Amino acid sequence: DQQVKQNSPSLSVQEGRISILNCDYTNSMFDYFLWYKKYPAEGPTFLISISSIKDKNEDGRFTVFLNKSAKHLSLHIVPSQPGDSAVYFCAARTSGAGSYQLTFGKGTKLSVIP
Protein backbone atom coordinates (compact mmCIF):
# COMPACT_ATOMS: atom_id res chain seq x y z
CA ASP A 1 0.00 0.00 0.00
CA GLN A 2 1.72 3.14 -1.23
CA GLN A 3 1.25 6.01 1.17
CA VAL A 4 3.07 8.48 -1.09
CA LYS A 5 2.32 8.40 -4.79
CA GLN A 6 3.89 10.16 -7.72
CA ASN A 7 1.64 9.19 -10.59
CA SER A 8 3.75 10.64 -13.39
CA PRO A 9 6.89 8.60 -13.97
CA SER A 10 8.24 11.23 -16.36
CA LEU A 11 7.78 14.82 -17.44
CA SER A 12 9.32 16.84 -20.29
CA VAL A 13 9.43 20.61 -20.19
CA GLN A 14 10.95 23.26 -22.41
CA GLU A 15 13.76 25.31 -20.92
CA GLY A 16 12.46 28.54 -19.38
CA ARG A 17 8.95 27.18 -18.80
CA ILE A 18 7.41 25.99 -15.56
CA SER A 19 7.83 22.42 -14.35
CA ILE A 20 5.10 21.10 -12.06
CA LEU A 21 5.69 17.82 -10.26
CA ASN A 22 2.84 16.30 -8.31
CA CYS A 23 2.55 14.04 -5.30
CA ASP A 24 -0.41 12.54 -3.44
CA TYR A 25 -0.43 10.98 -0.01
CA THR A 26 -2.85 9.01 2.11
CA ASN A 27 -1.53 9.19 5.68
CA SER A 28 -2.88 12.12 7.69
CA MET A 29 -0.11 11.68 10.26
CA PHE A 30 2.61 13.02 7.98
CA ASP A 31 3.95 16.22 9.54
CA TYR A 32 6.51 17.36 6.96
CA PHE A 33 6.86 16.91 3.25
CA LEU A 34 10.13 17.05 1.38
CA TRP A 35 11.35 17.01 -2.17
CA TYR A 36 14.60 15.36 -3.14
CA LYS A 37 16.43 15.49 -6.44
CA LYS A 38 18.54 12.63 -7.71
CA TYR A 39 21.09 12.50 -10.49
CA PRO A 40 22.30 9.15 -11.86
CA ALA A 41 24.98 7.45 -9.76
CA GLU A 42 24.42 9.87 -6.87
CA GLY A 43 22.36 9.81 -3.71
CA PRO A 44 19.21 11.92 -3.40
CA THR A 45 19.82 15.57 -2.51
CA PHE A 46 17.42 17.55 -0.35
CA LEU A 47 15.70 20.34 -2.25
CA ILE A 48 12.90 21.91 -0.24
CA SER A 49 10.42 21.02 2.48
CA ILE A 50 7.12 22.22 3.87
CA SER A 51 5.45 21.79 7.22
CA SER A 52 1.98 20.30 7.28
CA ILE A 53 0.73 23.52 8.90
CA LYS A 54 1.75 25.66 5.92
CA ASP A 55 0.46 25.75 2.38
CA LYS A 56 3.42 27.22 0.54
CA ASN A 57 7.19 27.42 0.82
CA GLU A 58 9.47 29.16 -1.62
CA ASP A 59 13.21 28.91 -2.18
CA GLY A 60 14.52 30.66 -5.24
CA ARG A 61 13.17 28.97 -8.35
CA PHE A 62 11.51 26.23 -6.30
CA THR A 63 8.11 26.48 -4.65
CA VAL A 64 6.23 23.72 -2.90
CA PHE A 65 2.47 23.91 -2.44
CA LEU A 66 0.52 21.78 0.01
CA ASN A 67 -3.22 21.15 -0.16
CA LYS A 68 -4.03 19.23 3.00
CA SER A 69 -7.70 18.73 2.26
CA ALA A 70 -6.79 17.06 -1.03
CA LYS A 71 -3.72 15.35 0.44
CA HIS A 72 -1.75 16.71 -2.47
CA LEU A 73 1.49 18.57 -2.87
CA SER A 74 3.30 19.94 -5.85
CA LEU A 75 6.73 21.27 -6.68
CA HIS A 76 6.98 24.17 -9.10
CA ILE A 77 10.26 25.01 -10.79
CA VAL A 78 10.34 28.38 -12.55
CA PRO A 79 12.10 28.90 -14.87
CA SER A 80 13.19 25.36 -15.66
CA GLN A 81 16.82 24.87 -16.63
CA PRO A 82 18.55 21.93 -18.34
CA GLY A 83 20.49 21.29 -15.10
CA ASP A 84 17.18 20.56 -13.41
CA SER A 85 16.90 17.34 -15.41
CA ALA A 86 16.89 14.62 -12.75
CA VAL A 87 14.58 12.29 -10.88
CA TYR A 88 12.51 14.07 -8.24
CA PHE A 89 11.27 12.20 -5.20
CA CYS A 90 8.48 13.36 -2.96
CA ALA A 91 8.86 12.25 0.67
CA ALA A 92 6.69 12.54 3.74
CA ARG A 93 7.78 12.43 7.36
CA THR A 94 6.20 10.65 10.30
CA SER A 95 7.40 11.25 13.82
CA GLY A 96 7.23 9.07 16.86
CA ALA A 97 9.24 7.40 19.61
CA GLY A 98 12.36 9.40 18.83
CA SER A 99 12.40 8.48 15.17
CA TYR A 100 11.61 10.61 12.16
CA GLN A 101 10.97 8.39 9.17
CA LEU A 102 10.62 9.35 5.55
CA THR A 103 8.28 7.58 3.15
CA PHE A 104 9.19 8.15 -0.48
CA GLY A 105 7.26 8.11 -3.71
CA LYS A 106 8.66 6.28 -6.72
CA GLY A 107 9.92 9.45 -8.35
CA THR A 108 9.27 11.52 -11.45
CA LYS A 109 11.98 11.87 -14.08
CA LEU A 110 12.11 15.47 -15.26
CA SER A 111 13.71 16.26 -18.60
CA VAL A 112 14.25 19.93 -19.41
CA ILE A 113 14.74 20.39 -23.13
CA PRO A 114 17.06 23.23 -24.21
Partner 1 sequence: DSGVTQTPKHLITATGQRVTLRCSPRSGDLSVYWYQQSLDQGLQFLIHYYNGEERAKGNILERFSAQQFPDLHSELNLSSLELGDSALYFCASSRTGPLVNEQFFGPGTRLTVL
Per CB under 8 A, residues contacting partner 1 are 4, 6, 32, 34, 36, 41-46, 49, 89, 91, 93, 95, 97-107
Is 63 or 107 the residue whose CB approaches partner 1 more closely?
107
What residues contact 94, with CB distance under 8 A and at least 6 apart? 27, 29, 30, 31, 100, 101, 103
Cα separation, 83 vs 96, in Å, equals: 37
CB nearer to partner 1: pick between 68 and 93: 93
Query: Closest CB to partner 1 among 32 and 77?
Result: 32
Shortest Å, Cβ 114 to partner 1 = 27
Residue number with CB closer to partner 1 (41 or 70): 41
- Residue among 60, 61, 78, 75 at smallest CA distance from 105: 75
Cα-Cα end-to-end distance for the chain? 38
CB of 110 to partner 1, least distance (A): 16
Min. distance of Cβ 56 from partner 1 in angstroms? Answer: 16
**CA–CA separation, 33 and 64 (whole Å):** 9
Smallest distance, partner 1 to C-beta of residue 67, A? 19
**What is the Cα–Cα distance from 35 to 75, expressed in whole angstroms?**
8
